Structure 1
Amino acid sequence: MPLASVLRLILLASIWGGSFLFMRLTANSLGPAVLIEGRVLAAALCLLLISLFLRRQLRFTSHIKHYFIIGAFNTALPFLMFAYAAQTLNASTLAILNSTAPLFAALIASLWQKERLKVKAGLGLFIGMVGVTVLVGQQALALGEQGIWAIIACLFAAAMYGFSANYTKVAPAVAPFENAHGSMWAAVIVVLPLLPFMPIRDPITVPISLSVLTLGIVCTGFAYLLYFKLVKDDGPASALSVTFLVPLFGILWGRLFLGEEIGINTLLGALLVITGTILVTGFSFKRLLAKGG
């Protein structure tokens, strides 16, 4: 892999790992709906400005059903679930649970696409689920019912990402940039009706405003562009490797900026989840590095 791609990969993982830090900082003050509406609106406006600069017109009504499916299941609903969980769980746990998405994608593919689950993939699913148990078991006991619901929300969000990954196999052919742009506006519309039911709890301060803008512009809009650039230049395997790096940055940022404790259950759980994901996806770092250096 070219050095430029490696640097983009690390940058993208660090940005997405940081998104859980910003959600942790803002979720309790803003509530899930206001936080995510601000995030997707900022991202949508960012992508709109880029589309105007590139002179790329978004024909939203041409693929409106597709945009709403992606906007709901790949953006709005999982973002809301993670924002809800961020009120209780630490950034490290959020990032690791997010990385279970490929495990759910494989399971859903076996049920929906009738893809036969290989022995290696089945082992990966088992190891990944053991990793989740190791990671959250102690926290579930410590946090009680609220913690259990937060963990379920994260796993539900990861399952929606898994559904979206399978949906893209049968979805209409839409350019990556338009996919990101159109689905973001759809997400804005999906979240909007929830605002009256999840009001803001605390005054909006400058740090909170900056956190939401960073979540939207950097962690969503700019990150999408980085991601699609990576897919275009180096293929899906490179994009997939981000999944294994995001938890590492989630743990790092949580420790550096929030002072989160890194327990043995966090490290062991992350290792098992990442190992399970590698087995399920058949990913090979050796093949990745050998490709197009």
Structure 2
Amino acid sequence: MKSAALYLATVLIWGSTWLAIEFQLGDVAVEISLFYRFAIAAILMWAFVLFKNLPMRYSWRDHGFFTLLALFNFGLNYLTLYWAQNYLSSAMASIAFSMLLVMNIINTRLFFSKPIAKRIYVGALLGVLGIASLFWPQIQQFDLSNGTLVGLLLALSGTFVASLGNMISVRNSQRDIGVMQGNAWGMLYSAIGLAVYVLISDVQLTFTAPASYWVSLLYLAIFGTVIAFACYFALLKNIGPERASYVIVLFPLVAVVLSTLFEGFEWQTNTFIGFSLVLFGNAIVLTPTQRIKAFFATRNSLQNRSVPS
């Protein structure tokens, strides 16, 4: 029951953050919004690790990787995804981001020489076909000035950057660096980096925004960044990374439902086909071949029993 509650919380929170991001766009510069978000998250994360008295001293080399983690996982990827949602609905952005699963597997092969199972190629192909189906009307009228295609390219770029950040996280884990400690340093460096960028750029620090902006900001910082990560890390410990990774398959469902209800997201034939292909492809990627064979073997056995002799 505890794992089920953690799983449900992670899916619902991360699925809803895409809609919350919509309230961050327009009134305040994206860079400022991200600075606020990660400054709040860093304060909360550091309060947690200090309260738990977790070890926080690491080598200069490790701090170099914490800086890369900040750039890839808590900086550039979010910045790119926020930009993407200037052109895409929260539903479309979340579906594009679900390709993170395939990118993680490919990058794990490139950086850590982990072999890729044959089913991964099938799942990846279905995912690519799904994305192509979702954006088929724009692909047919290919034009770099097309806002939707720009949004897609930004979303996929942000997803790839996030995957690189995940590889940094894997490296840190192999060095026996706690996930909470690594993220605390990463969020701190991200907040500092964004603050420096704001200071040297023409972006103006502003505190005038609608109440919806501040509510969504607190939701993204507290729930979307701190609580959701804490739930996900607890799942990794309780049920393992393979089963926990199914959140990547499920949270687009939440995002699409919320976008349909609150953004007027319209379902077309290509939307149904593309969404189904992406979800099915990710499910294949996450399901071991042995489990697939066992499923069909069990089904055939039941069918044979039901046939009268």
Q: CA deviation at 1:281?
A: 3.7
Contact 1:99 1:243 in 2 (8 A): yes
Equivalent position to 1:204, from 182, 195, 209: 209
1:203 & 1:262 partners in 2: Cα distance?
36
CA spacing shift, 1:60–1:215, aligned 2, 3 Å: farther
Superposed displacement of residue 170, structure 1: 3.2
Identify which range, 272-281 or 66-75, moves more after superposition: 272-281
Q: Distance in 1 between matches of 2:206 and 2:135?
A: 27
**Secondary structure of 2:116's match?**
coil
Q: Is the 8 A contact 2:246 2:286 kept in 1?
A: no
TM-score after normalising by structure 2: 0.82
Instruction: Give the counterpart of 1:261 among 258, 262, 266.
Output: 266
Unaligned 5+ segments in structure 2 are: 293-309
Unaligned runs of 5+ in 1: 288-293
Distance of 1:124 and 1:57 partners within structure 2: 40
How far, CA to CA, are the matches of 2:12 and 2:267 in structure 1?
A: 18
CA contact (8 A) 1:13 1:246 kept: yes
Aligned residues: 285
Worse overlay, 17-26 or 48-57: 48-57
Partner of 1:291: none
Q: State the Cα distance separating 1:201 from its structure 2 match.
A: 9.0
Aligned match of 1:216 in 208, 221, 242? 221
1:157-168 alignment runs, 5 A limit: 157-168=158-169
Are residues 200 and 129 of structure 1, via their aligned partners in 2, closer, same or farther at CA, if it must alter by over 3 Å?
Answer: farther
Secondary structure of the residue aligned to 1:26 is coil
* Larger Cα-atom Rg: 2
- TM-score for both structures, normalised by structure 1: 0.87
CA contact (8 A) 1:21 1:250 kept: yes
1:151-188 deviation line (CA, Å, top 9, x unaligned): 11110111122223333443332112112211111211
Cα distance in structure 1, aligned partners of 2:120 and 2:39: 38
Q: Which deviations, in whole Å up to 9, do the C-alpha atoms of 1:20-45 show, x marking residues without a partner?
A: 11111212222321121111112111
Task: Give the corresponding residue for 1:30.
Answer: 28
Could you give the per-residue CA deviations for residues 192-240 of structure 1, whole angstroms, max 9, x where no partner exists? Answer: 3333345579941222111111111111011111111111122112320
- The amino acid across from 2:241 in the alignment is P
Instruction: Tell me the amino acid that sits aligned with residue 261 of structure 1.
Output: E
User: Could you tell me how far 1:247 is from its partner in structure 2?
Assistant: 0.3
Q: Which amino acid aligns with 2:242?
A: A
The match for 1:49 is 47
Q: What residue is the counterpart of 2:306 in the other structure?
A: none
Across the aligned residues of Structure 1 and Structure 2, the Cα RMSD in angstroms comes to 2.7
Give matches, 1:139-288, under 5 Å: 141=141, 144-171=145-172, 172-195=175-198, 196-199=201-204, 203-282=208-287
Q: Distance in 2 between matches of 1:254 and 1:122?
A: 30
Structure 2 CA distance for aligned equivalents of residues 128 and 279 of structure 1? 10
Q: Which amino acid in structure 2 is aligned with residue 270 of structure 1?
A: F
Between the aligned partners of 2:256 and 2:80, the Cα distance in structure 1 is: 19
Partner Cα distance (1:237, 1:86) in 2: 29
**Deviation for aligned residue 1:9:** 0.7
Residue 110 of structure 2 aligns with an amino acid whose one-letter code is L
The share of aligned pairs that are identical, in percent, is: 20
* Cα displacement (A) at 1:264: 3.2
Number of the residue aligned with 1:132: 131
Structure 1 pair 118/219, CA: closer, same or farther in 2 (3 Å)?
A: same
